[in-house]
Structure 1
Amino acid sequence: MAVYGYARVSTTGQNLDVQLKALSDCDHIFREKVSGASKSRPELDNLLESLHPGDVVVVTKLCRLARNTRHLLEIVEYFDEQEVSLKILNLGIDTKTSTGRLMLTLIGAVAAFERSLLLERQAEGIALAKAKGRYTGRKATAQEKSEEIASLDAEGHSKQEIAEMLNISRTSVYRILRANKDCK
Structure 2
Amino acid sequence: MSPPDARLYGYARVSTTDQDLTLQREALIRAGCTTIREEKITGTTREGRKELRILMDFLRSGDTLVITRIDRLARSVGDLEDIVRELQAKGVALKATEQPIDTGTAAGKAFLAMLAVFAEFETNLRKERQVEGITRAKAAGVYKGRKPSIDAGKIAQLRREGLGASEIAKMLGIARASVYRALGVPPTVTGNAAS
Q: Structure 1-normalised TM-score?
A: 0.64
Q: Deviations over 1:86-145 (max 9, x none)?
A: 101111221011221111011122123335556777896xxx9xx6xxxx9xxxxxxxxx
Which residue of 2 is the match for residue 17 of structure 1? 22
> Which of 38, 45, 49 lines up with 1:38 in the alignment?
45
Out of 51, 57, 69, the residue aligned to residue 49 of structure 1 is 57
1:28 matched to which residue of 2? 35
**Alpha-carbon distance in structure 1 between the residues aligned to 2:81 and 2:87:** 10
2:64·2:93 contact (CA, 8 Å) conserved in 1?
yes
Q: For 1:58, which of 63, 66, 71 is the aligned residue?
A: 66
- Give the AA of the match of 1:97: T
Is the 1:73–1:105 Cα contact (8 Å) retained in structure 2?
A: no
Q: 1:73 to 1:58 in 2, by over 3 A?
A: same
Displacement of 1:46 in angstroms is: 0.9
* Pair 1:68-2:79 in alignment: no
Secondary structure of 1:26's aligned partner: coil
Instruction: Answer 1 or 2: which has greater helix percent.
Output: 1
What residue is the counterpart of 1:5 in the other structure? 10
TM-score, normalized by length of structure 2?
A: 0.60
Q: 1:33 and 1:17 mapped to 2: Cα distance?
A: 12
Structure-2 change in CA distance of 1:28 and 1:119 (3 Å): farther
Amino acid at match of 1:20: R
Residue aligned with 2:16, SS: coil
Aligned residues: percent identity? 39
Task: Return the index of the structure with the highest Cα Rg.
Answer: 2
Q: How many residues align?
A: 142
Q: CA RMSD in A?
A: 3.2
Aligned CA distance change for structure 1 residues 99 and 117 (closer, same or farther; 3 Å): same
Task: State the alpha-carbon separation in 2 of the partners of residues 81 and 30 from structure 1.
Answer: 21
Q: Which residue identity lines up with residue 119 of structure 2 in the other structure?
A: A
2:8·2:35 contact (CA, 8 Å) conserved in 1? yes
CA contact under 8 A between 2:67 and 2:95: conserved in structure 1?
Answer: yes
Unaligned runs of 5+ in 2: 1-5, 148-168, 181-186, 188-195
Deviation beyond 2 Å, 4+ runs, structure 1: 111-124, 179-184
